[in-house]
Amino acid sequence: MKNLSTILSSLALIGVIYLLVQNNNSSSASGESQTKEMPTKSAGELRLAYVNTDSLVANYNYHQDLKVKLEGRAKNIEADLQSKSRAFQENVSILEQQAANLSPQQIQQAQAELQQKQQELMMYRDEQSQALAMEEQELTLLLKADMDLLLDSLKVEMGYDFIFSFDPTSSVLAANPEWDITDIVVEGLNKTYATKKGEKE
Domain spans of the chain? 2-200
Contacts of 116 (CB under 8 A, 6+ apart): none
Q: What is the pLDDT of residue 44?
A: 59
**pTM higher than the cut 0.75:** no
- Alpha carbon separation from 173 to 25, 164, 182 (Å, rounded): 27, 12, 17
pLDDT above 50 for 152: yes
Q: What is the pLDDT of residue 51?
A: 92
R_g (Cα) of the chain, nearest Å: 25
Q: What is the pLDDT of residue 181?
A: 94
Contact 160, 49 (CB under 8 A): yes
CA distance 163 to 18: 11
Confidence class for position 188, pLDDT limits 50, 70, 90: very high
